[in-house]
Amino acid sequence: MQYPENFLKVLDLNTFIGTGNPNSKILIVGKEVATDPENGKHTELEQINLEAFNRNCTDWRNNVQNNVSQKSITKWNRSTDNNPLYAFKGEQIKEPGHTWNKYQKLNNYIFDKLNNKELNFQEDFFITEMSDLPSKTTGLAQRKKEFKEKLKHRKETFFKSEFIQNFPIIILASNDYINGEEICSIFNVQFIEERGCSGQRFWIHSNTEKSRLVIHTRNLSGSVSDKLLKDIASEVKLFLNN
């Protein structure tokens, strides 16, 4: 597998990078990694998630050094490390409101995989988070004293890196973790129009050359409607086909 040169450079930031295919055209940005081993529920899996989060940059360096490809990664089980190149490969997450199920639906709509039942969106997407502070809920995340300062720093460093800037399609599924003015400044785009209705809105941005599409919306979990996912997918497909 050929890892992009700009991806190798971003590893020097020693921060949470993300999961999925670094060669993809589509970047999805959530709010934060949702894990909290202290909440008393699913403690073992929560601890695995936290360990994978803490190892993220190191694991990517190992993947680069060993030229690991998505095809070479075996199906995940709890006795093996979770590789960020294809996290939880082979898992079936059935909760309809789970973020990964929403990502998979979006992937299916974009690439016309209508009968697909597998969680294989990481073959076509790269996933990262606006905040690098893991937390089970947004409310808990925002109560951390370092939240605002670290979020600001990540916007000014990681999100301005060549790796992030190179994605032609960016879906900011991070709600109020970023505002319109920041989007235009960080990604060098202009606001085009708003679509959708209450609770299911998205905002379209593009650059002057029409070579970049940035969509800003709510976090893709819980009560996200299929219509919102289909509408976003339509914009992405239109961009890809132009």
Provide mean pLDDT across the span 191-216.
Answer: 96
At residue 50 the predicted structure's pLDDT band, cuts being 50, 70 and 90, is: confident
pLDDT in tens, 114-144: 888 889 999 999 999 999 998 888 888 888 8
At residue 38 the predicted structure's pLDDT band, cuts being 50, 70 and 90, is: low
CATH of the domain at 69: 3.40.470
Provide mean pLDDT across the span 36-63.
Answer: 79
Position 232 pLDDT exceeds 80 = yes
pLDDT in tens, 158-188: 999 999 999 999 999 999 999 999 999 999 9
At residue 44 the predicted structure's pLDDT band, cuts being 50, 70 and 90, is: confident
Pair 103, 110: CB distance under 8 Å: no
**Distance of alpha carbon 191 from alpha carbon 66, whole angstroms:** 41
Instruction: Pinpoint the alpha helices (H) of the chain.
Output: 5-10, 43-65, 99-110, 138-142, 147-156, 162-165, 180-187, 226-241
List beta partners, residue 169: 26, 213
Structural domain span for residue 221 = 5-241
Is the pTM higher than 0.85? The answer reads: yes
**Distance of alpha carbon 14 from alpha carbon 37, whole angstroms:** 23
Q: Domain tally for the chain?
A: 1
Of all residues in the chain, the percent with pLDDT exceeding 90 is 75
